[in-house]
Amino acid sequence: MSKAAIVSFSGGQDSTTCLFWALKNFDRVETVGFNYGQKNNVELICRKEILKKIQTQFPNFACRLGPDLVIDASTFGQVSSSALTGSGEAIVSEGKRGLPSSFVPARNLMFMTYIGARAYLRDIHTIITGVGQADFSGYPDCRRNTMDAMQKALSLGMDWPIEIVTPLMYRTKAQTWELAHEVGGDELVGFIVKETHTCYEGDREHFHVWGYGCGHCPACLLREKGFEEYQQSIAQ
């Protein structure tokens, strides 16, 4: 039986790195994305283009790429407010309860629940997500113990063994760039720089050595810092 996995794929740096990691390590890889009411749809546009360009630019990976599904979870904003879901809040590093204002409560829990149901339907036991707690923004639903709890809940609740794999869990942003290089060399690193989107402001006009973005939101600053550290490591 071939190994299959579903990747939670947003079109950002982390999920794109995980997608290529999965394509290298699994025989069949499907993708799931979400429209959860995020204040800009740039990621959704980018993820569509990334999947399209994999077919032409990475044929060795494309042969393992299966169906994609974008789930309309736009009603999620009715119960979970954040600076990322158009609440009007400013994006600050410390908001309510000491968490960044960009934290979307229970977002990753919702993602895993939907993807778990999809995995059951598609006879798949492995979910791959790009969450991490090394350089993470303080989001509690990015921690490994949260993923362990979700893995157990899904497995018990569906009577279907589920494993949630987190390739980036203990990697810094610099190490995430290193992983991309390990998987696909300079070609993949360049692809991720140009094609993925991280900026909270949805900026696709200003291009930097590390990619597109406003250059001042927390996501851009973290991506920039990680890329600089990655470049320093390969220059040594």
Is-contact 84 43, C-beta < 8 A? no
Q: Which residue from 134, 136, 139 is spatially nearest to 108, judged by alpha carbons?
A: 139
pLDDT digits (tens, 9 = 90+) for 44-91: 999 999 999 999 999 999 999 999 999 998 887 777 665 555 544 445
The domain total for the chain is 1
Question: Mean pLDDT in the chain?
Answer: 90
User: Does residue 154 fall inside a structural domain?
Assistant: yes
pLDDT digits (tens, 9 = 90+) for 150-208: 999 999 999 999 999 999 999 999 999 999 999 999 999 999 999 999 998 899 999 99
Share of the chain above pLDDT 90, in %: 73
pLDDT digits (tens, 9 = 90+) for 16-35: 999 999 999 999 999 999 99
- Residue 130 belongs to domain spanning: 4-171
Amino acid at 201: E
Which DSSP letter does residue 212 get? E
Confidence of residue 137 (pLDDT cuts 50, 70, 90): low
Beta bridge partners of 164: 127
Poorest-pLDDT segment among 10-19, 98-107, 173-182, 221-230: 98-107
Instruction: Give the model's pLDDT for residue 200.
Output: 87
Say yes or no to pLDDT of 236 above 80: no
User: Does residue 143 fall inside a structural domain?
Assistant: yes
Confidence of residue 139 (pLDDT cuts 50, 70, 90): confident
Amino acid at 3: K
Question: If 0-12 CB within 10 Å is exposed, 13-18 middle and 19+ buried, where does residue 56 land?
Answer: exposed
User: Does residue 224 fall inside a structural domain?
Assistant: no
DSSP string over 29-72: EEEEEEE---S--HHHHHHHHHHHHHHHH-HHHHTTEEEEEEEE
Give the whole-angstrom CA distance, residue 111 versus residue 153: 14
CATH number, domain containing residue 82: 3.40.50.620
User: Does residue 180 fall inside a structural domain?
Assistant: no
pTM of structure: 0.92
